[in-house]
Structure 1
Amino acid sequence: MSREYRLPFLLALGAGYGLLAALAISLTRLSGGVALLWVANAPLLVALSMLRPVHWRGPVLAAAIGSMAASLIVSPLASVAFLFVVANMAEAVIAAALLRRWNVFDPPLASARSVALFVLAAGAIAPALSGIAAAAFTSMIVNHSFGGIWVDWVIGHGLGSLIATPIALLVLQPGRMVEKFASRVHILEAAGLMLLVAAVTFGTFSQNTLPLLFLISLPVLIATMRLHRLGAASSVAIVAVIGGYMTLRGAGPIMLVHVSEAAQLQFFQLFLAVQFLIALPVAAILSERASLFRALRESEARYRLLADNATDAMLTLDPDGTIRFASAATRELGFFEPRSLVGRSALSLIVEEDRERVREVHYAALARPDESFSVEYRVLKANGEISWFESNMRAVAEEDGVVTSAVSVIRAVGVRKAREAELYRQATTDPLTGLLNRGAIRRRIDQAAASDAPAALALFDLDHFKQVNDRHGHPTGDAVLLAFADLLHDSLRGDDAVGRIGGEEFAVVFNGMTVLQAQTACARLRAAVAAQPLAMGMDGPIFVTVSVGLVALEGNISEAYQAADRALYAAKAHGRNRVELAEAA
C-alpha cells in the first residue's frame, strides 16, 4: 500500500470500525452484558489480510481508536473500554494470523477447504480466545456469570465475523471476490436476483404469523448458484440487513419464538449462520469447479493447439482400442482424415503381422498407467503404402485408479528404419559380393544347428584362385568372385543361407535338408561352375573349378565346422573340383 493511500484508508477503516461498533453496542447489547452481534472486526480482518504482518500496526491502531471512541460514546461499560479494545484487536489479529498461515484469502474463500478454515479461525478459535479476557473483566463489573458472558461473546463475535467478513471482502477486495461480468445481461441478472432475495426476505419478515424462514433459503441458493461468491455474500448481507432491522422492530417469524429479546436476536444470528453455512460453501465449491473447468478448457485448448500443429500424430483411445480423438497430423502421416478415424479400432490400421505385438503393449500400458510404453509397427496408409511408425503411449487413470483412456503420440520412423536396415545390411553383408559376411553366416550356422530340422553345412573354395589374380589382375579376380557368388545365390533355395567367409572361400547352410540331399545340390553346383566361364581375361574366357567340404549340422557346432573344413582340404588333396563328405561331425 502506498504512503499516499495509507492515511485515507486508515481514516476510513477507523471511522467504519467505530460506526459498526457503536451500532452493535447500541442495538444488540440486550442482555446487559456484551453486544450479541459484533460485525466490526470484519473490515479490520479483511484489511489485515491485504497487508503483510509488518504493516498491521496502522490498521490495528486505527480500528482501536474507532473502537475506543464507540465504547466511550455509547457503551455503559466505558470504564473498561480499553480492555474491550484490547480483546477486540487481539481477536482480529489472531484470526488474521491463522487465515494468513492457512492461506485462506488467496484467493478469498474460493474452496470448501478455505471456507472450513475460515469458520474455524474467525468463527471459533479467535473469539473463543479473546472471549476469555472479555468475559473475565466483564463478569467483575456486571451481574453475569463468566460462562454466560463468554458464550455470548463467542456466539456474537464468531457469527458476526462469519456473516460480515464476506461482505467486507466484497467492499474492500471486489476484484478478488466477484467474477467478471461478460455483458449487461449478466449485470441485469445479478440485480434481479438480489431484488428477488430482498423481496422474499422482506415478505417473510413482514409477517409474524407463519414460520416461513425456510423460504429465504431458495432465492439465496439460486443467487449463489448463478453468481457464486458474489451471490452468497450479497444474499446473506441482504438477509442480515432486512431481517435484522425487522427483528429489532419486533416483526417477522422470529417473534414466534417466545423467548427473551436477546435470545430472539441470537436465534436470528443462528438463522443467518445457517444461511451462511449453506450458501458460502456451495459458492466456494462452484467457484472451485468453475476454476477447474476453466483450467480444463485452457489445457484442452493448449493440447489441441499442440496436436493440430505438431508433426507427430496424437490419438486418444478407449481402453478397448477404439479411437476417440485423432489430431490433424494423421492426415500428413497416413493420409487419413482425422474424423474418419474416430470410432475405428486402432489395430485395424496396423498390418496383421504386427497387431499382436501392439495389442500386448497396449494392455501393458493399461495395466501400469504410471509408465510410458513404446512400440514400433507397420501401418497400411490410406494411399495403400505400408510404412513404419512408432507409438509412445500412456494410460490415463482416474483418482480411483480406473483407466479411462490411453494417449498415444505417433511419429513416422520409416527413414530411421531404412537407415537401420542399411546399417544392418552393411554390418552383415560382404561388401564385394553382397552375400552374408563371415559373422552373419556364422550366426545362421548357429541357428540351423539349434533347430530340430535337419541341416547341412558346405564350405566352397575356388581352386587355384591365386593364379587368376596373378595372371589377370585383381579386378578380374573380383569379377570371378562376383560371378561365383551370383551362381551360388541363384542356385539355392530361399531358406538356404550363403555367405563369403573370406578370400575365395564361401559357406552355404542347407536348411531342412539332409546331408545326402545337400551333397546332391553341391555336386550340381560344382558341375555348373566348371561348365561355364565366370569372367573374361586377357586370353579369353576364364574357367575355374571349386572344391566342397560337406558336413551334417548336428552335435557340437565348432566340431561340425572343423569337420567341414577338413573335408574341404581332403577335396583339395584328392585332386580338387570335387565334393567331399566329412566322415564325422
Structure 2
Amino acid sequence: MAVRLSVQPATHQFAICVAAGYFILASLALHFTRYDGGAAFVWLASPFLFAALTVAPRRQRLSLSLWCIPVMVISTLLFGLGWRVAVPLALANVAEAYVAAWCVRRTFPRFGQFGSSIEIFWFTLIAGVAVPAIFATVGALFVNLVAGTPYLATWRDWFTAHAVGMIAFGPPMIFLLGGHLKRWSYAVSRSKALETVAIMAFVLAVCIITFGQSRIPLLAAPFLPMMLATLRLGRFGAVTSIVILIAVASIFSLSGVGPTILVPGGMGVRLQVLQLYFATVVLVILPTAGELKARRRIYERLRTAEALNRLILDHSSDVIIRLSLDGIIHYVSPAVRRYDVAAPEELKGMQFETLVHENDRHRVMTAHAAAIVSPHEIFSIEWQTAGVRQPSRWFEAHARAIIGEDAMVTGVVYVVRDVTERHQHAVELELRANTDPLTGLVNRRVFDLALENAIVTAERAPACLAIFDLDHFKAVNDHYGHPSGDLALTHFAEILKSCTRGEDIAARLGGEEFAVILYNADAKEAATICERIRHQLATSTIIAIGGSRISMTVSVGIKQIDGHLRARELFSQADQALYGAKNSGRNRIALAA
C-alpha cells in the first residue's frame, strides 16, 4: 500500500511567512544597528522565530528552522559580515531560537499563555538569559575573527541584543502569531471594545507625550495607563499596550527624539538602554497580567464551587451547621426548616448547645472540643434536641474542624441528619428484646440480670424475691379458651404494676409464672406487698371472651435475697416456698426458711 505524504498549503504559507519575516528583521538589524561594525545592537529575528516555533505544532518546528537558515545566510551576505561567516552565524542564530523554544517547552509544556509568574520566570531564565549567553559565546567568536572587534565587548553586545530582544519582544510576538488578538476580537462585546479603544488611546497618548520630547525623562509615565489596560483587559491589554509602547518609543528614538537622547554614548548604547527599558516593562506588566489571570481563574473556580455548594446545601436533606470555636452558630443550611426548630437566620448567632437536650450537652461539646484538638479526624455523635417548639428529636452529627489558610482551626462544621425514626426503632427493638410481648413486663433475661445486681447490693440494700403462680390456670385455658387465658395473664400483670413500687421489677417468667424483685424490703414488708397483690386478684373478676366471669387466685413464695446465695439457689428456695403455699391449699403466701 502506497502512502502519500502531503503538506497542507497553510503549512507552506506559514513557513514562507516566517522565513520572510525572519529575513526582514535580520536584514534591518544588520543594516541599521551594527554601529561598530561588529554584532547588531538590536536583534528581533530570534524572538520572532522563537515565537513562531512556540505556536507551531511540534512536527513543524524543525522545518521552520531549516527554512530560516538560507534566508539568514542571504541576509548576512547582503548586510552583514560577508560570506566567510554567513553559514556559521546563520546556524548560530537559528539554533539559538530553536534551542530556546525546545528548552522552554520541555520545562513548561503549556508555555505560551503567560498565565502565571512561574511561566514567565522560566521563559526569562531560559530564553532570556541562559540560551543567549551560550550562543553569544559562539557568535562573538566568529564576529571577532572577521571584524576584529574585542571578544568580550562583542559577547556583551550579542548577549544584550539577543537577551533583551527575547524578553522584550518574545511575548508580544507569541500573542500576535498565536492568534490571541483574533480570538479576543471575536469574543469581545461592543461595550468592551469601546472601553478597549479608549484605554489604548490613553496608552498611546501617554507614550507619545513620554517619547515625543527629549527634555523631561518621563519613562515611568506609561506604566500607569499600561497597568490600567492590564487590570481592565487582562493579558490582551498588557500585550497590546506593550506593542504600542515599543512602536512609539522605537519610532521616536530612531528619529533622534525621546528620553534616550539623554543617555550618554552613541546610538547603539541608546538602543540597548531602550531595549532594556522594554524588557523591564515586559517583566513588570506580564507577570501582573499572569497573576490577574490566575486570580480570575481562582475566583471563577470559587464562584463555581460556591454555586455548586449552595445548590447542594439548599437541596440536601442533611443540615449543615458551621460553628465558631466557642460554639456560636455562623451558618445553618435551609434544610433545618423541615424540623421546625427555627429559621436559619434565627439560629445564626445562637449558642449551639442551647439546641441540645441538657442530658446530651456535655457529650456534644466534648466532641466539639475534640474536633478542634484533632482537626483531621471526624467525630460522630448522637444527640437529642431540647424540644422547644415541638417534641424532641434525635439527630446524628458528624463533626470536623475547618482549617484556615494559616493551618489554624477556625471553626467546626457539622453534617446533621435526623435519626428520630431510627432511634425510635432501636428503642422498640430493645423494648421487644427486654419485655414480654403479652403483658409488657420485663422478660426472664432482664430479670435475671436485675437479680444478679440485687445479690451484689444485698448487704447495702435489702431486697426480696417473690414468685407468683396463678392457681388452676390450666383449667381456665381449657374451659374458657386461650384468648381468655391471655386476658387473665394481662389482668394479673396490671395488678403487679399497680401494687408494686416504681423501683421494683416485675417479670413474667413464662406461662402463668411471674416474679418480682422488691427492693429496700425485708421479708415482712415483702409479704405485706404480696398480700396486697393476692387480695386484689382474689377480689377481682375477669370478663372472659363471650361474657363469662372468671375468678382467679395466686400462690406466692418469698425469699429474702442473701448476698451469699446464687440466683439459682434463691429461685430454688422461693419455688419451695411457692410449692408449700400450693400444697397448703393455694391462694396464700409462704416465706422461705
**Which of the residues 190, 198, 201 maps onto 1:195?**
201
Count of residue correspondences: 580
Distance 1:374 1:236, change over 3 A: same
Q: Is the 8 A contact 1:457 1:507 kept in 2?
A: no
Aligned to 1:424: 430
Distance in 2 separating the partners of 1:311 and 1:301: 18
**What does 1:204-243 correspond to in 2, within 5 Å?**
204-243=210-249
Counterpart of 1:349 in structure 2 is: 355
Gaps of 5+ in 2: 1-5
- 2-side partners of 1:303 and 1:426: how far apart? 43
Question: What RMSD over aligned residues (CA atoms) do the two structures have, in Å?
Answer: 3.3
Q: 1:219 to 1:527 in 2, by over 3 A?
A: same
Q: Deviations over 1:306-362 (max 9, x none)?
A: 222223233333333333333332222436433333333333333333333222222
**CA displacement at 1:462 relative to structure 2:** 0.6
* Alignment correspondent of 1:397: 403
Match of 2:463?
Answer: 456
> d(CA) in 2 for partners of 1:537 and 1:329?
52
What's the TM-score once normalised by structure 1's chain length?
Answer: 0.88
CA–CA separation in structure 2 for the residues paired with 1:213 and 1:220: 12
Asked if the contact 1:36/1:262 (under 8 Å) is kept, the reply is yes
Q: CA deviation at 1:51?
A: 4.5
Distance 2:486 2:369 in 1: 54
Residue of structure 1 in register with 2:493 after alignment: 485
In structure 2, the CA distance between the partners of 1:288 and 1:78, relative to structure 1 (3 Å rule), is farther
How far has the Cα of 1:136 moved from its partner? 2.9
Q: How does 1:277-292 map to 2 (within 5 A)?
A: 277-292=283-298
For 1:27 and 1:411, locate their aligned partners in 2 and report how far apart those are by CA, in whole Å.
79
- Answering whether residue 45 of structure 2 is matched by residue 40 of structure 1, we say yes
Choose 498-507 or 480-489, whichever is displaced more. 498-507
Q: Structure 2 vs 1, CA of residues 423 and 52 (structure 1 numbering), >3 Å: closer, same or farther?
A: farther
Task: Give secondary structure in 2 for the equivalent of 1:393.
Answer: strand
The yes-or-no answer on 1:378 pairing with 2:405 is no
1:547 aligns with 2:550: no
Give 1:380 shift: 5.2
Cα distance in 2 between the residues matched to 1:520 and 1:139: 128
Query: Residues 3, 537 of structure 1: CA spacing in aligned structure 2 closer, same or farther, 3 A cutoff?
Result: closer
From 19, 24, 31, the counterpart of 1:26: 31
Cα drift, residue 35 of structure 1: 2.3
Counterparts in 2 of 1:280-319, with a 5 A limit? 280-319=286-325
1:501 to 503, 509, 513: 509
Structure-1 separation of matches of 2:123 and 2:116: 11
Letter in 1 for 2:494: D
Distance 1:561 1:250, change over 3 A: same
The worse-fitting range, judged by mean Cα deviation, of 288-297 and 40-49 is 40-49
In the alignment, the residues of structure 2 paired with residue 298 and residue 457 of structure 1 have an alpha-carbon distance, to the nearest angstrom, of: 71
Q: How much has 1:286 moved relative to structure 2? A: 1.2
CA distance in 2, matches of 1:144, 1:446: 111
Greater Cα shift, 214-223 or 49-58: 49-58
Give the C-alpha shift of residue 460 in structure 1.
1.8
- For residue 84 of structure 1, the aligned residue among 75, 82, 89 is 89
Q: Report the alpha carbon displacement of residue 543 of structure 1 after superposing the two structures with TM.
A: 1.6
SS at match of 1:480: helix
1:154-213, CA deviations, whole angstroms, 9 ceiling, x for partnerless residues?
322222122222212321334499599664332222222222222222222222233322
2:153 maps to which of 148, 154, 166: 148
Corresponding position of 1:119: 124
Q: Which stretch shifts more, 329-338 or 186-195?
A: 329-338
Q: Which amino acid aligns with 2:554?
A: T
Once the two structures are superposed, what CA deviation does each residue of 1:455-475 show, in whole Å capped at 9, x if it has no partner?
A: 635242315566446744544
CA distance in 2 between partners of 1:530 and 1:332 (Å): 54
Give the deviation of 1:519 after TM superposition.
5.5
Q: Distance in 2 between matches of 1:222 and 1:193?
A: 8
Q: Contact conserved, 1:104 with 1:117, CA < 8 A, in 2?
A: no
Q: What letter corresponds to residue 384 of structure 2 in structure 1?
A: R
SS in 2 for 1:195: helix
Q: Secondary structure at the match of 2:393?
A: strand
Instruction: Tell me the SS of whatever aligns to 2:375.
Output: coil
Q: Which amino acid aligns with 1:220?
A: M
Shift of 1:295: 0.5
Q: What is the letter of the counterpart of residue 480 of structure 1?
A: A
Q: Would the aligned equivalents of 1:448 and 1:553 in 2 still touch at CA under 8 Å? A: no
**Structure 1 residue identity aligned to 2:321:** L
Judged with a 3 Å threshold, the aligned counterparts in structure 2 of structure 1 residues 205 and 436 are, in CA distance, closer, same or farther, namely same
Q: Which residue is 2:3 aligned to?
A: none
> Which amino acid letter does the alignment assign opposite residue 412 of structure 2?
A
Residue in 2 aligned with 1:128? 133
Alpha-carbon separation, structure 2, partners of 1:64 and 1:526: 121
> Percent same amino acid among aligned pairs?
31
C-alpha distance in structure 1 between counterparts of 2:57 and 2:448, whole Å: 79
Distance of 1:150 and 1:217 partners within structure 2: 32
Check whether the contact 2:167–2:279 (CA below 8 A) recurs between aligned residues: yes
Q: Secondary structure at the match of 2:359?
A: helix
- Larger mean CA deviation between 65-74 and 164-173 belongs to 65-74
Q: Distance in 1 between matches of 2:456 and 2:399?
A: 36
Aligned equivalents of 1:129 and 1:263: distance in 2? Answer: 22
The answer on 1:163 being equivalent to 2:130 is no
Q: CA deviation at 1:243?
A: 1.7
Per-residue deviation, 1:106: 5.3
Does 1:322 find its partner at 2:331? no
Q: 1:192 and 1:87 mapped to 2: Cα distance?
A: 43
- Alignment-mate amino acid for residue 231 of structure 2: M
Is the 2:451–2:567 contact (alpha carbons within 8 Å) kept by the matching residues of 1?
A: no
CA change 1:47–1:363 in 2 (3 A) is: farther
Which sections of structure 1, spanning at least 5 residues, go unmatched?
Answer: none
For residues 109 and 164 of structure 1, do their structure 2 counterparts lie closer, same or farther at Cα, with a shift above 3 Å needed?
same
Of stretches 155-164 and 403-412 in structure 1, the one that deviates more from structure 2 is 403-412
Q: Equivalents in 1 of 2:490, 2:259: separation in Å?
A: 111
TM-score, normalization by structure 2: 0.87
